[in-house]
Amino acid sequence: MNILVILHNNFNETELVSTIAVLSKTNKCYFTYYNPDYKMITGSNNLVKIETVNEISIDDYDAVFIPGGPGAQLLRHDSTSLSIIKKFKNKKIWAICDAPNVLYEHKIISDTQNYSSFPSIGENKSFDSCGKNRNDDYVSFDNSIFELITGKCAGASVDFSLKIVEINFDKETFEKIRYNFLTK
């Protein structure tokens, strides 16, 4: 499975590294890191620096993953990345932390889709920027329009990525990986 990872400076490193670590255990996931403007992106704690590409072909990817953290504020104003994410509405979209709120604000997540996210108050300093179907669950899966898997926060990263494995790979692969992380 080819996965496009959209990154912005100050992304949450736990969300990125945990998700990539879990998905890598399938031995069937390949990652491309993307940012429309920069060749190098740095995480919020300056622990992780990722080399990115600035151009992609959407047809090369099966899914898009967007970690959150403070970098989600940059995504809010990145029309190029948002346009790319919209093109995944017939594929798979996985987002965590504040990234699902950004997707809702830009109508990528619809009013009818359930999603988990960090309880962002958005730029207008109001909880109104969150959708009515936003919840406080650690992880949500909604397949009503397209495959949407969302996570609440960095603490949900392993459960979030295990849900991706559970939905997209066989039961044996899921159980083996889940056992390695000894979660519920």
Kindly report the average pLDDT of the chain as a whole number: 93
CATH number, domain containing residue 172: 3.40.50.880
> Can you tell me the mean pLDDT for 104-115?
95
pLDDT at 182: 72
Record the tokens describing residue 75, joined without a space.
């995504």
Query: Could you tell me the CA-to-CA distances from 99 to 9, 142, 167, 170, 173 in Å, in that order?
Result: 13, 16, 20, 27, 27
Domain count, the chain: 1
**CA–CA gap between residue 123 and residue 65 (Å, rounded):** 23
By residue range, what is the domain housing residue 54? 2-181
What pLDDT, on the 0 to 100 scale, is given for residue 181?
A: 84
- Contact between 99 and 75 under an 8 Å Cβ cutoff? The reply is yes
Supply the pTM of this predicted model. Answer: 0.93
* Greatest alpha-carbon span in the chain: 45
**Is residue 95 predicted with pLDDT exceeding 70?**
yes
